Amino acid sequence: MRHDTRIAVGPVQFRIGSDWARPIAALNRLYASYPQDPERPADATVRLFAARPWRRWLRPSVQIGGDFTVPDALPLPLAMGLLAAEMGMNLQVALGWRRHLLLHASAVEKDGRAVILSGVSGSGKSTLAALLGETGWRLMSDEFTLIAPDSGDALAFPRAVSLKNEAIAEMAARVDPARLGPLLAGTPKGDIRHLIPRPDAIAAMHDPARPALILFPRFGGAAAAVEPMGEGEAFVRLTEASTNYTALGEAGFAALTRLVRETPAFALSYPDSATGLALVDRLWAEAGR
């Protein structure tokens, strides 16, 4: 490929190639502070390419490919190349990674213990994790949390946080502007802007944490509500949040069973971020120890 770069996030070494210089330059700015080992072979390859030769110049559009591809995925305009790269990286991990149980969840850590936040897109899990990451917690992940089958530990995957819509202004008010990527307006997922995690979160990306709380946040509703969740329901919800639970077979079942047996779980709904943060702190004080 004409342009390429390498990025290591948590245990995964990516190689990203592109027909255009811009997405690679944008990635390099976003991931400049991440540790680099140029000698390390890549676990996963992402390709950003023009689906038809003329699409390199004429209304250029980025097709997302790599080791794994989604057959009918629509290309994105070149201006959203950074989003295409992010989707490509997520795709490779979601479909290719087998070393750990993958949960579609964000996570934060304090004192070596992790709070795992699982929920569908729009549940506010990324925003909550990003906010917690600015208030005394280590941000582990905003998209994937990895569970090691042998130890039961949670592992971090601290890629740049993908802030969406209202969350952009909320975070921009709190962080150094140098930690924000370019605004990608009007993407299929709404407005997107990336947030570079704090340097300590990047430096600690290989440090595992013991799962202490599993939360299923839901943004919206008039009042705050907290509902303890049984092991069975947490188990079923997390199988749905995992992209490789089936592929891991018995090891996946054992890891997930252990996780829900050893970790208290709660569903919480919250009308605004401040309430959400307060709920997490309260649950941490009551049940997370």
Q: Is 282 in the site for another protein (CB under 8 A)?
A: no
Q: Vertex 194, ends 274 and 188: CA angle to 5°?
A: 95
Q: State the nearest-atom distance from the C-beta of 66 to another protein, in Å.
A: 7
Q: Is 249 in the site for another protein (CB under 8 A)?
A: yes
Give the interface segment with another protein, choosing from 10-18, 21-29, 116-124, 224-232 (CB under 8 A): 10-18
**Residue 113, Cβ density class (10 Å: 0-12 exposed, 13-18 middle, ≥19 buried):** middle
Rounded CA-CA distance 34/166 in Å is: 27
Outline where DSSP puts E strands in the chain: 3-9, 12-18, 44-50, 61-66, 76-77, 101-110, 113-118, 138-141, 144-147, 154-155, 161-164, 184-187, 190-195, 210-219, 225-229, 265-270
Q: Which amino acid is at 257?
A: T
Give the interface segment with another protein, choosing from 92-100, 199-207, 215-223, 226-234 (CB under 8 A): 92-100
Q: State the nearest-atom distance from the C-beta of 98 to another protein, in Å.
A: 4
Q: State the nearest-atom distance from the C-beta of 136 to another protein, in Å.
A: 33
Q: Pick from 5, 45, 141, 263: which binds another protein (CB under 8 A)?
A: 45
Q: Interface mask (CB under 8 A) for another protein, residues 93-132, using x and -?
A: ---xxxx---------------------------------
Q: Is 71 in the site for another protein (CB under 8 A)?
A: no
**Residue 99, Cβ density class (10 Å: 0-12 exposed, 13-18 middle, ≥19 buried):** middle
Q: Is 150 in the site for another protein (CB under 8 A)?
A: no
Question: Residue 128 or residue 255: which is nearer to another protein going by CB?
Answer: 255
Residues 6+ apart with CB under 8 A from 237: 118, 216, 229
Give the interface segment with another protein, choosing from 122-130, 136-144, 165-173, 241-249 (CB under 8 A): 241-249
Secondary structure of residue 99 in the 3-state scheme: coil
Q: Pick from 10, 17, 81, 264: which binds another protein (CB under 8 A)?
A: 17
Q: Pick from 5, 7, 10, 15: which binds another protein (CB under 8 A)?
A: 15
Name the residue with tokens 């255009």. 20
Nearest to 214 by CA among 265, 286, 258, 256: 265
Q: Which residues bind another protein (CB under 8 A)?
A: 1, 13, 15, 17, 38-43, 45, 47, 49, 65-68, 96-99, 247-251
